[in-house]
Amino acid sequence: MLRSKYKKIFVLVMSMIFMASCGVDISGRPPFEDLTISSDYKQIVNLEGYTWDVTFELPTDSTFTGVVRHASRWYDSSAPFMSHDVLVTTGDFALKDVVDVSVMGHKFFYHWDDAAPTGTINLLHIFPATAEIFDQLKVDQKMG
C-alpha cells in the first residue's frame, strides 16, 4: 500500500512538471496580458477575438463583509479570466462550531445540528481585473 501511495505522488509530480515544461500555467493566474476588460467589467475580449459578456447578479456594485470560510482557486479554459471561489459568511454561518460549510463544484453546502442558523452566506465567483488583485487574493487565501 505504501508503494501505491508513493506511485500516485510520483505521477502527480511528474504531471505537474510536464505541464509546466509545456508552457501550461498551473498557478491559476488568468492571462491578464491577453485580455481586454471593459471599463464597466461587462465585456472581456482575448487576443484571438473571443468575447465574453459578463452578467452580474445585481445591477449595482455589491459589498460583502463577513468571515471568509472558504477560498479556492479554479481554472476553466472556457472562462480563463475566472480565478477564485470565495465564501463570505455572517452570523451563525461564520461560526465553525455552529455550522459546517463546504464548497464543491462552485456550489456551497452547509449543515447544522441545533436551531436553524441565522446570518448570510454568499459564494462569490471571482474574476480579478488585474494581476495585483489576483495576487491579493492569493495572500488572503493563505491567511484563511
Structure confidence by residue, pLDDT tens digits, 93-138: 999 999 999 999 889 999 999 999 999 999 999 888 888 988 888 7
> Which residues fall within 8 angstroms of residue 18, CB to CB, at 6 or more apart?
none
What predicted TM-score, i.e. pTM, was given to this entire model? 0.71
For the segment 56-76, what is each residue's pLDDT rounded down to a tens digit?
888 888 889 999 999 888 888
Q: Is 89 exposed, middle or buried (0-12, 13-18, 19+ CB in 10 A)?
A: buried
**Between 15 and 47, whose confidence is greater?**
47
Question: Is the pLDDT assigned to residue 17 strictly greater than 80?
Answer: no
Cell for 128? 480579478
Residue 144, pLDDT score: 45
Report the distance separating Cα 21 and Cα 60, nearest Å: 43
For the segment 33-51, what is each residue's pLDDT rounded down to a tens digit?
999 999 998 999 999 999 9
Residue in this structure with the C-alpha cell 455589491, named with its chain if needed: 62
Of the candidates 21, 20, 17, 40, which has an alpha carbon nearest to the alpha carbon of residue 29?
A: 20
Cβ atoms of 101 and 52 within 8 Å: the answer is no
Report the distance separating Cα 139 and Cα 60, nearest Å: 27
